[in-house]
């Protein structure tokens, strides 16, 4: 009989409507895990879509989960993730945090940094899109 780490498992990635990665996790029971997140995670209303990747063992799934979190730095993962200022520009993070506080959004204090990270990632995406649209890179001269 296989041990729990030898059983098949999956990793899942949740994205918002703008395709910003919100969270990466691993599980052997995908539907139950989705339901748990929908009930217990304050960020669940931001989820627009999910991607799933299957692995022959839970050990492989967990390793992939750690690698994705370290590489992609999703806003709402805490384990395996660097600090907030290493995920987004610190000035943009401070601006996002200040905005959330000033607007008196009813965000749990434990979640303020995570929401500020998500907002800063969203703002970075929009800034880069605007730069591409309004200040395209010059064409190289042959």
Quick one: how many helices (H) and strands (E) in the chain?
5, 3
Task: Look up the pTM and report it.
Answer: 0.74
Domain formed by 1-80, architecture: 3-Layer(aba) Sandwich (3.40)
Q: What is the mean pLDDT of residues 115-137?
A: 79
pLDDT band at 16 (very low <50, low <70, confident <90, very high): very high
Q: How far apart are alpha carbons 90 and 94 in whole angstroms?
A: 6
Q: Summarize pLDDT for 87-121 with one digit per residue, the tens.
A: 678 888 888 888 887 876 677 777 888 888 888 88
Burial of 116 per CB tally in 10 Å (0-12, 13-18, 19+)? buried
CATH 3.40.1440.10 domain span(s) along the chain: 1-80
pLDDT at 6: 81
């Amino acid at each position: 009989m296989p041990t729990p780490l030898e059983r098949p498992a999956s990793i899942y990635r949740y994205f918002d409507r703008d395709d910003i990665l919100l969270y990466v996790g691993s599980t052997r029971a995908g539907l139950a895990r989705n339901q748990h997140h929908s009930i217990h995670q304050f960020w669940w209303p931001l989820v627009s879509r999910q991607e799933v990747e299957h692995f022959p063992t839970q050990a492989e799934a967990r390793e992939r989960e750690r690698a994705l979190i370290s590489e992609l730095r999703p806003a709402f993962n805490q384990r395996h993730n660097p600090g907030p200022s290493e995920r987004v520009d610190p000035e943009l993070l401070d601006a996002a945090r200040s905005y959330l506080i000033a607007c008196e959004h009813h965000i749990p204090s434990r979640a303020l940094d995570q929401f500020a990270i998500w907002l800063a990632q969203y703002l970075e995406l929009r800034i880069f899109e605007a730069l591409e649209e309004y200040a395209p890179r010059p064409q190289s001269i042959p």
